[in-house]
Amino acid sequence: MDRQTLDMEGARQGEVSAASLQLGDDTIAIRRIATMSVEGMMFFPWDTPGNRQTQRLYATLCVANLFFGLVAIGWWGLMPGQPSSVVALFIGGALMLLGIFLGLRATLIAMRLKKREPYYRLTIGTSDGRQIPLVDDNREVLIKIRDIVRYKMDTNDTETTGEFDLNLDIIDLHMPKDGQRPERAAKVRPREPDGPEILFDDAPDAAEPLKSAS
């Protein structure tokens, strides 16, 4: 049976240069990247035109063998005393067994056609409307590539370069050591006093009486 690979779902090789990104046969300018998203997808590796045709062939042969097998057994039942009926019985039994085998084979192929495998896709959209997918079964790898491309977009970096081949699990991309985004300084609000500020001294509780001159 034929089996599809992830290469049919998107790019698996690429290169990051100073100002562009190469994904398969497509080249994208870093400054023209508009969107990037990583999403989970489902993949049907055995669902190919050749496998579907093989499954239909097995199913057709199964029905045909069962039909002619029943006809031969019916002939034996209608003519039990004739020598040809014994031959028809053996032929009918063989056709029935062959039909059952072909039916099981068709069922197994049909079950394999419906088998799904998860994978992840990094879709890069450009300002001219193109969408180029990069696929792999490891989400962390796609996240790393996305972060490096985003770093180049945010900082206009031209020093970060490298290449990757997801078919061979080769990733030669490294973020610069000083490539981390500086954290914004937190605004410190002035501390408010615990109580109201006292501008004047408290007045005396009672004024001293004035002594009159005698």
Rounded mean pLDDT, 188-201: 44
Q: 161-185 pLDDT, tens per residue?
A: 888 888 887 888 766 665 444 333 3
pTM for the whole thing? 0.61
Alpha carbon distance 28, 24 (integer Å): 11
Contact residues for 61 (Cβ-Cβ < 8 A; gap 6+):
99, 102
Mean pLDDT score of the chain: 79
Q: Give the C-alpha distances (Å, rounded to integers) separating 134 from 8, 26, 40, 65.
A: 11, 11, 12, 47
pLDDT digits (tens, 9 = 90+) for 87-128: 888 888 899 999 999 999 999 999 999 888 888 999 999 888
Q: Is the pLDDT assigned to residue 214 strictly greater than 70? A: no
Distance CA 24, CA 166 (A): 11
How far apart (Å, rounded) are the C-alpha atoms in residues 16 and 109? 41
pLDDT computed for residue 19 by the predictor: 86
Q: Which region among 53-57, 94-98, 153-157 has the lowest average model confidence (pLDDT)? A: 153-157
